[in-house]
Structure 1
Amino acid sequence: MKLGEYLDKDLIIHELSASTKTEVLAELVKPVIQKYPELDQNTVVRILQDRENLGTTGIGDGIAIPHGKVEGLDHIVLVVGRSSEGLDFEALDYKLCNVFFLVLAPEQVAGMHLRILAQISRLLKDKEFRAEFAQADSEDTLWELLQKA
């Protein structure tokens, strides 16, 4: 499985402007709503916040993988965002997060979104990939990097 198959260039945010966890969730969801206007932004953000209340998706090493199941989706949606400065996402290692992969899945899908979460986790363990991700100077550069993933 290649993550590139689940990515859309319109859903890559080269530089997040958010400064809080709630703001970053809203900023990651915004391009999804623009692409899929039938979804309600407040509902999607609430689903993600509810998931965060169960335990942070800031997994450490500067990485956060917020995720949730959304009624009305018929396929998995990935959003990739980066924060050069990093922000407090209540990560398990208490470090700031720079790399964000938002995964939204249809309510009825179980196995596929878990495989995608596992693939993202494996990819982000690669220090070379993380370094290239951090140095990417545009959405296009991030897109090209992620197409190889």
Structure 2
Amino acid sequence: MEKLTEKDLNFDLKADTQKEALHALAEQAFERGKIADTEIFYQELCNREKESTTGFGNGVAIPHARHGVVQEAGILVARCKNNLEWNSMDGEPVNVCICLIAPDDQNDFHLKTLAKISRRMIHDDFIDTLKNASEADVLAEINKVIE
């Protein structure tokens, strides 16, 4: 997977609900050429949420899905100005999403990337960067984590 660029960020995600946020992420993935079908990928993100929440805590969710419509593995990072109810593990709302996109045949990428990001989620400085830092700083931090 190539490094994240500014095109992989959306620091002005327009959503009032979890489903609106997931749909916006699917649309962004389509616009970036990562997926072939917005609606199918959106449904996969929703299906994943039904299995168990991706709301990690501290206002951050890591929605993710593997599917055949994915053309290229990737990561999207989004910030929402308002808080979204997400059924998070800590019961708190979400305003940052790190969306993992993986083809069906790349379970290794999917699991390794999820593990790398999850390990960083326990560090307050990482959470602070995700929530408050500039685009350049967020890109540098995420790219450092996924190397």
Q: Name the TM tier (shorter chain).
A: 0.7 to 0.9
Shift of the alpha carbon at 1:20? 0.2
Shift of the alpha carbon at 1:16? 1.6
Gaps of 5+ in 1: none
Q: 1:92 to 1:37 in 2, by over 3 A?
A: closer
Tell me the equivalent position of 2:38: 41
Residues 1:107 and 2:101 aligned together: no
Q: Percentage identity across aligned positions?
A: 28
CA distance in 2, matches of 1:8, 1:109: 21
Aligned partners of 1:68 and 1:105 also within 8 Å: yes
Aligned partners of 1:85 and 1:98 also within 8 Å: yes
User: Residue 51 of structure 2 aligns to which amino acid in structure 1?
Assistant: L
Q: Deviations over 1:94-113 (max 9, x none)?
A: 10112211011110122221
Tell me the equivalent position of 1:94: 91
CA distance in 2, matches of 1:37, 1:100: 17
1:83 to 55, 80, 85: 80
SS of aligned partner of 1:14: strand
Aligned partners of 2:45 and 2:64 also within 8 Å: yes
Q: Deviations over 1:75-130 (max 9, x none)?
A: 42111111243211111221011221101111012222101001111122210121
TM-score scaled to structure 2, two decimals? 0.86
Residues 1:143 and 2:139 aligned together: yes
Aligned partners of 1:124 and 1:130 also within 8 Å: yes
Tell me the equivalent position of 1:63: 60
Q: 1:129 to 1:84 in 2, by over 3 A?
A: farther
Aligned partners of 2:70 and 2:103 also within 8 Å: yes
SS of aligned partner of 1:69: strand
Which deviates further from its counterpart, 88-97 or 77-86?
Answer: 77-86
Aligned partners of 1:6 and 1:76 also within 8 Å: no
1:9 to 6, 13, 25: 6
Aligned partners of 1:69 and 1:104 also within 8 Å: yes
TM-score scaled to structure 1, two decimals? 0.85
Pairs aligned (count): 145
Q: CA RMSD in A?
A: 2.1
Shift of the alpha carbon at 1:74? 4.5
CA distance in 1, matches of 2:90, 2:49: 15
